[in-house]
Amino acid sequence: MEEYNKNRLDIQGLRAIAVGLVLLFHFWPQRMTGGYIGVDVFFVISGFLITLHLLQNPPTSKEKLIDFWARRIRRLIPAATVVLLVTMVASVVWLPESRIISTSKEVIASAVYVENWQLASTETDYLAADEAKSPVQHYWSLSVEEQFYILWPLLIGGAVIVSKRKKIQLKTAVGTVVGIVFVTSLAYSIYLTDTNQAAAYFVTPTRMWELALGGIMAVAAIRGFILRKHTVRVGLAWGGLAMIGISSFLFTESMKFPGYIALLPTLGAAMVIVAMADNLRYSPTKILKWRPIQYMGDISYSLYLWHWPIIILLPFIINKDVLTLPWKIAGIIVAFGLASLTKHYIEDPTRRSSFLRKSNLATYASGLAAIVIVTGIGGGSIAYSSYMSDTTELRVERAIKNDPCVGAGVKLQENCMDNEKLLSTPAFAKQDKSILYKDECFADPPFKKVKVCSYGNEKSSKRLALFGNSHAGPWIPILIDLAEKNNWRVDTYLVSRCYPIGIRVDFGLSKTYEDNCLSWTKRAKEQVIRGNYRAVVLSSRSMPMAAEANKNYIKNSSIKSKAYELLLSDIVSNGSNALVIRDVPEHKSNIPDCVAKNKDYSQCGTSRKVALEPDIQFDVAKKMNNPNIGNVSVTDTLCDDRTCAAVVGGLIAYFDHGHLTNSFVRTLGPRIVPEVMHAMR
């Protein structure tokens, strides 16, 4: 037991390896493809050390719990707060204005240690999937650990109390709790990684088993488990490091992680810990105890905090799209310098402060003050950006009402000159979405419910349906305006990420979600057909891939064409007219971010050949030559013969890479309104 308690050179070296892997992965992701597993190594180390501490000092009273959490505050919050404050200020100065609100939200989430849940929600949000990474995204792992530090002493303390009351051996009670957490969390991690990998990567329940694995090592230590054979211990230490190294080079971001494959690096870390090979001949500690490695382990926390903001902000500071080798090396040097300063002038002084150590009240007050300051600055930034967006909204609103040449009007009206001055701003454009998002009208994964949103006169017999995925959603402002003017009712049947076609579609999620997408489409189609609609407006993004009933994924446009033909035929055969709006061009970058970064926003346009994806549904509607099936395209308002624009008539046309802004859609009325009116007659 005493060997576990001593200053472990191998664990400090393991910390250095973990932060080094993360550093190399973030600077050279194409080479150190699995370096992200450094975070998992950190989890195992933290789980081991914290569980060992709690077993030696069981938190069986309120005072002990308060004291434990106070030590965590002194250890973690000061450095984290300084980095957040510096990053927030630097973001306001150098990041594009379109990214300030999202960055501020993540700074606030990081300050209160829920950044992992914030990222889980945005990663699974189809519209947020192409958002550029924020400079505080790495705080997700700190959030997981902080949540662990809150929950773990409660579980351990509860196990200790139960063991005393039920006269169960302490080691058995705690071991049972830790084992249950390990097994259930690992099982859930495997399940969620397979069904929703984007969420599984960040949420706490899928990561607790990694910390619990370290906890198992701690329980083993308490029970007196120590390997005696030197050759076995040396072999375990080298084997564990080999498992970490193999994971670092063979794992890739495309793999379903964490899940069961995360056992390779985490078991490797556990093997190094249980080996206790510090003073053994031929052990890796002979290398790990090298002073530079030990020092890197000492500053690993601050180094982890600083390296990511540097990676994200440096390209904007030096005005380069990509960091070249000299700039990467410079970034690493700066990260080490800032980490060293933070360690010696912030981490150590606050952790050792006699004033704070004597007063838990002062510790909690300082921690709360740090959180309040960061959230206040982040909230102020959001408030200011929102105010500026509101001002822009009024300006855009006046322009649309008073100037027929604004937005698409410059292409649709005669004698219009393109407005070279931006009326909308990138920050406003990013938020310039239809009411459908506020009303939560889209079915998101796992696509279990067909949600119908209704607008206009709900009792009207003149009813229109909007059917499709997220690329249909932007057309709603025109339809709502028509409904209010003509006493109609508009119902929406919309889905995100899924392709509502009626055959299996591979869209990068699990088979379960693909099945659910197909089921959602069938149920939504049935409701549309039974809905007694005069007209159904359809629009969807083109599909990447589809399959026949035998579930073999194939790229065959004829199968897709037949599926769309069946969909349209079923709609019109049941008494409704159909109007298919061609999908709009798709850009390869986030348009508001690009416009914010480039004064010459024409650089944000995309080649027509690249941007204008095939739209089989639109092509089928034209070929069917059915008087009850109309079609309309707005491609000519966004593209010329060579390029599809990002800005038209002074308005930023997209709020991301491929969804039109609400303001721009409203200027497309002259093209869309006559077709809708015709379909409703």
Determine the residue type at 376.
G
User: CB of 14 within 8 A of CB of 288?
Assistant: yes
CA distance 304 to 5: 25
Q: Where in the chain is the domain with CATH 3.40.50.1110?
A: 403-680
CA distance 67 to 60: 11
Q: Could you tell me the pTM of the whole model?
A: 0.86
Closest CA to 350 of 363, 364, 338: 363
CA distance 357 to 126: 46
Give the tokens for residue 182.
């390990």
The pLDDT value given to residue 548 = 38
CA distance 622 to 390: 41
189 membership: H or E segment, kind and range: helix 170-195
Distances (CA, A) of 381 to 88, 147, 237, 367, 384: 9, 27, 49, 21, 5
- Tell me the DSSP string of 540-599: -PPPS-EE-TT--EE--HHHHHHHHHHHHHHHHHTT-EEEEEPPPP--SS-HHHHHHH-S
Tell me if residue 268 falls in helix, strand or coil.
Answer: helix
SS3 percent helix, strand, coil of the chain, rounded to 5, is 65, 10, 30
Determine the residue type at 144.
V
CA distance 271 to 265: 10
Task: Note the CATH architecture for domain 403-680.
Answer: 3-Layer(aba) Sandwich (3.40)
Is the bond into 258 cis (omega within 30 degrees of 0)? yes
Determine the residue type at 250.
L
CA atoms within 13 A on the CB side of 317: 14
The pLDDT value given to residue 131 = 66
The pLDDT value given to residue 663 = 95
CA distance 289 to 601: 53
The pLDDT value given to residue 676 = 95
User: CB of 620 within 8 A of CB of 568?
Assistant: yes
DSSP 8-state symbol, 204: G
Strands 463-469, 442-443: pairing kind: unpaired
The pLDDT value given to residue 195 = 83
Strands 606-607, 629-632: pairing kind: unpaired
pLDDT by residue (tens digit) across 416-437? Answer: 887 678 899 999 999 999 999 9
Instruction: Find how far residue 594's CA is from the centre of its chain.
Output: 20
Residue whose structure tokens are 């200053």: 7
Question: What would the 3-class secondary structure string for 13-45 be?
Answer: HHHHHHHHHHHHHHHCCCCCCCHHHHHHHHHHH
Give the tokens for residue 445.
């994964």
pLDDT by residue (tens digit) across 138-172? Answer: 999 999 999 999 999 999 988 888 887 777 777 78
The pLDDT value given to residue 508 = 63
- Give Cβ neighbours of residue 45 (< 8 Å, ≥ 6 apart): 11, 14, 15, 18, 214, 269, 273
CA distance 662 to 130: 19
Question: What would the 3-class secondary structure string for 465-520 be?
Answer: EEEEECCCHHHHHHHHHHHHHHCCEEEEEEECCCCCCCCEECCCCCHHHHHHHHHH
- Give Cβ neighbours of residue 369 (< 8 Å, ≥ 6 apart): none
What phi and psi, each to the nearest 5 degrees, are found at residue 489? -125, 135
Closest CA to 465 of 574, 619, 583: 574
- Give Cβ neighbours of residue 420 (< 8 Å, ≥ 6 apart): 650
CA distance 399 to 574: 42
648 membership: H or E segment, kind and range: strand 647-648
CA atoms within 13 A on the CB side of 85: 13
Closest CA to 499 of 409, 593, 564: 564
| Angle formed by the axes of helices 360-402 and 100-111, nearest 10° | 160
The pLDDT value given to residue 488 = 94
Q: Is the dihedral of CA 196, 197, 198, 203 positive or negative?
A: positive
Give the tokens for residue 523.
């149920």
CA distance 482 to 101: 33
Q: In the chain, which stretches have pLDDT less than 70?
A: 1-6, 124-131, 419, 506-510, 542-557
The pLDDT value given to residue 95 = 92
The pLDDT value given to residue 191 = 93
